[in-house]
Amino acid sequence: MTDRTEDEVKRAPGRSAFIDGMSASPGVAIGRAFTVDRRRIRTPKYHISAEQAEAEIERLEAAIDMSERQLQDIENRLSRDSDSQEHVLIVRAHRLMLRDEMLVDKARDLIIEEHANAEWALRRTVRRIKKSFDLIRDEYFRERRSDIDFVSDRIIRNLMGHIVDLEEAPPENSIVVAHDLSPADTIMLSRHSILGIVTDVGARTSHSAIVARALEIPAVVGAAGVSEIAGNGDRIIIDGTRGHVVLWPSQREVRTYRAARRRYLAHEEELLAERDLPAKTKDGHRVQLFGNIEFDKELDSVITHGGDGIGLYRTEFLYVGRKDLPTEEEHYEVYRRLLDRADGLPVIIRTFDLGGDKVPIPGRAREPNPAMGLRAVRFSLNRPDIFKTQLRALLRAGVHGDLRIMFPLISGPAELEEVKACLKEASAELAGQDVPHREDVPVGIMVELPSAAVVADRLAASCDFFSIGTNDLIQYALGIDRQNRDVAYLYKPSHLAILRLLKTIAEAGKEAGIPVSICGEMAGDPMNVPLLLAMGLDSFSMNALSIPMVKRIIRAMTLDECRDLLRRAMELSSIDEIEKLVRGEMIARFPEELAG
Amino acid sequence: MKVQEAYLEVVNDLGLHARAAVKLVVEANKFDSYVMLSREGTPEVNAKSIMGVLTLAAGKGSVVKVRCEGDDAEEALEALRGLFRSGFEDESQAKEKPGTEAND
């Protein structure tokens, strides 16, 4: 057949499609696609007769009524969850828009006077309203255009009898396939049992990814095009651990992934069985295992995976993807909620590690070399007004739990003093205003610049803890941009220079009697565990999912054998030799866990 | 028919953004009077229309002229005055932040 469409070819039996995406939540799911269409619909345009006008208006009003009921329903479901207050307000604004005279009266006029059908009349009205928004200079208000689209799309879908919300439960074995999911969609979905989620767009931080992790189901985001080619009910496999999708899998692929799924589940179960045991070596050396998180919901995952607290809470999300700066109250609410959830466990919050290009302020300039530019504390000190808003909120939140504040990218003692002075000012302000706060919140720094590592002894004298940020430390020390494919291969934690830097930092901390933690990716790699233990680090902070494996390794080793391995590794010179030694020893020691 | 007018300042940090606009529209709809809003150089918009209120694009510090016309114009104006003054009861404002009251 020569006139087969491209689609039919793709769906030809026996030919599967592999789509690469990003891992958003680990695990493997094998099921059938449940497609959720959120793209724009085509608006039918036709003229009605004068006699039909009244009926057409009734049709419009019925669609508005139906839309109102749907939004009311969503609002009711949202209100039960305290995290969703922001969504509730959005839904409320949408409900008011449904009944707005600017929308309804004008559409009615067009039906009567120009004999336009309801869908067309509405679309034309919306276009007109949006024009008055286009003129607005303020970006926030201008962007309310998208809310008007959302509302009018809903009415039009109702007029056309399309499914508007995910009202019916997805069938068993469903994997949700969508271009993107709205907050309302994800909340509806989380009430049904689904096997996994895959979307065309999105990042690890998008709403669907967070919900998937909270539900502990696999998810892949950024699988471009998946919603275009997957049909409802098509067989689909998602590998949330590796971040890809197999559409229309062959029998053989199904078998392969079934095995992968079994392995993953067995492994999870086995590791979780050990979650309540302490991270202690066989000879009794106890360390703490913390989680790195970005959203308070992820805290639960850290705890279920046996974490002892939060070693790194990133606050950048408060600033990005919005048109204005977060207020002190917004900061405070977020921190207080996190501390409430942590229920007494230690929580280290890092002040924002952003460059001026990411913060929503006017006049932000592009920098030729952002990694070495105005970012993190440099930016904070450049804009003390923005910085102090966060510091005030942190100090206020300090009364609600075991909070510790951490400053990123400190380069030396003078900078640390400057940052501490800001904190002191914030504290004095709060005291002057009689606002409850905790004055003596422990203050630590990220040691992630080689300069800070070299003068770690001086820095240790004036802060309460260190946390080694290996991702940046390795980049800066080795002069390698990890994003640059040509040199990324040189990014190696096993470089002798890195081991020496880590040792220097750990010793400086010990000398001063302050705890030293490590919070880069290096901390979550089981191969590095003995080296880090031998250096005498007090805590390891990592992705929640890495905690069980690291704990298992720690519990199986003695400090003496770790020290012996570190000593032998540091006698070698090249990255290859060091890696070969450590990997060889570890794989021999843990064949089941680490081989393959 | 009574007519009442006042110039009210937007004092909350986020201005008349969606959350505040919802409150304003809900409040205005409680009255029979016409309630019209405008800023210098902008056409009047109906305070009972959320889209209208949003097109005002009134950020913090902007002054909004409120004109109420009808039997309950006085009550309507008073209610709106209260809302503007409280910063639209924005949680991101006022509450637990005694420092902000000092400027009044």
- Span B29-73, pLDDT tens digits: 999 999 999 998 788 999 999 999 999 999 889 999 999 999 999
d(CA A335, CA A329): 10
**What residues contact B90, with CB distance under 8 A and at least 6 apart?**
B12, B13, B14, B19, B20
User: What pLDDT score does A40 carry?
Assistant: 58
> What is the pLDDT at residue A3?
40
Question: Which chain A residues are Cβ-neighbours of B18 within 8 angstroms?
Answer: 89-90, 93, 144, 147
Q: Does residue B20 sit within a domain?
A: yes
- Check CB contact under 8 Å for B59 and A138: yes
Q: Are A526 and A543 in contact (CB under 8 A)?
A: no
Q: What is the pLDDT of residue A328?
A: 96
Please check whether residue B100 touches A, CB under 8 A: no
CATH homologous superfamily for the domain A274-594: Phosphoenolpyruvate-binding domains (3.20.20.60)
**Catalytic residue (choose from B8, B17, B73, B77):** B17
Q: In whole angstroms, what is the distance from residue A249 CA to residue A541 CA? A: 38
Of B21, B49, B95, nearest to A102 by CB-CB distance is B49
Residue B89 above 90 pLDDT?
no
User: For residue B96, what pLDDT band results from cuts at 50, 70 and 90?
Assistant: very low
Domain positions in chain A? 6-39+165-268, 50-159, 274-594
**Average pLDDT by consecutive 10-residue portion of chain A (596 residues)?**
41 73 90 79 86 93 91 74 63 91 94 94 93 84 80 87 69 89 66 86 68 82 87 92 92 93 85 86 96 84 91 88 85 95 96 75 68 90 95 97 97 97 97 95 97 98 97 92 75 94 97 95 91 97 89 95 97 96 95 75
Q: What's the token pair of residue A314?
A: 């990133």
- Within-domain flag for B101: no
Domain count, chain B: 1
Residue A134: CB atoms within 10 Å = 8
Architecture of the CATH domain A6-39+165-268? 3-Layer(bba) Sandwich (3.50)
* A312 and A540 Cβ atoms separated by less than 8 Å: no
Provide the residue type at A361 as one letter.
I
A156-199 pLDDT, tens digit each: 988 987 766 665 678 889 999 988 776 566 666 766 789 999 99
Nearest CB partner across the interface for A324, out of B14, B18, B91: B14
pLDDT of residue B95 exceeding 50, the answer is no
Annotated active-site residue in A87, A94, A179, A207: A207
| Closest-CA distance of chain B to residue A379, Å | 22
Return the sign of the alpha-carbon dihedral for residues B16, B22, B25, B28: negative
- CA-based nearest residue to A105, from B65, B41, B32, B51: B51
CATH number at residue B83: 3.30.1340.10
Tell me the backbone φ, ψ of residue A469, rounded to 5 degrees: -95, 90
Cβ contact B55–A132 (<8 Å): yes
Quote the minimal CA–CA distance from A335 to chain B in Å. 14
Q: Architecture of domain A50-159 in CATH?
A: Orthogonal Bundle (1.10)
What DSSP letter does each residue of A55-123 carry, written as one string?
A: HHHHHHHHHHHHHHHHHHHHHHHHHT-GGGHHHHHHHHHHHHHHT-HHHHHHHHHHHHHH-B-HHHHHH
* Cβ within 8 Å, pair B18-A144: yes
pLDDT of residue A205: 57
**Radius of gyration for chain A, computed over Cα atoms and rounded to the nearest angstrom:** 28
Does B21 sit within 8 Å of A93, measured CB to CB?
A: yes
Pairing of strands B3-9, B45-46: unpaired
| B34 assigned to some structural domain | yes
What pLDDT sits at residue A191? 66
Residue A594, pLDDT score: 81
- pLDDT value, residue B99: 34
Structural domain including B8 reads 3-87
Centre a 10 Å sphere on the Cβ of residue A531 and count the other Cβ atoms it contains: 24
Q: Which of A210, A224, A170 is closest to A84 using CA atoms?
A: A210
Question: Six-digit token pair at A287?
Answer: 């360390």
pLDDT value at residue B101: 32
Query: Residue A80's pLDDT is what?
Result: 60
Q: Known catalytic residue: B89?
A: no
pLDDT score recorded for residue A386: 94
The whole-angstrom separation of Cα A403 and Cα A339 is: 7
pLDDT at A158: 87
On whether any CB of chain B is under 8 Å from the CB of A585, the answer is no
Kindly identify which residue of chain B lies nearest to residue A141, measuring between CA atoms.
B57
Residue A181 vs residues A22, A56, A367, B67: alpha-carbon distances, Å: 16, 32, 33, 42
Residue in the structure block whose two tokens are 């809310």 = A147
Q: Does B10 touch chain A (CB under 8 A)?
A: no
A412-444 residues labelled b (16+ CB within 10 A) or e (exposed) = eeebbeebeebbeebbebbeeeebebbeebbbb
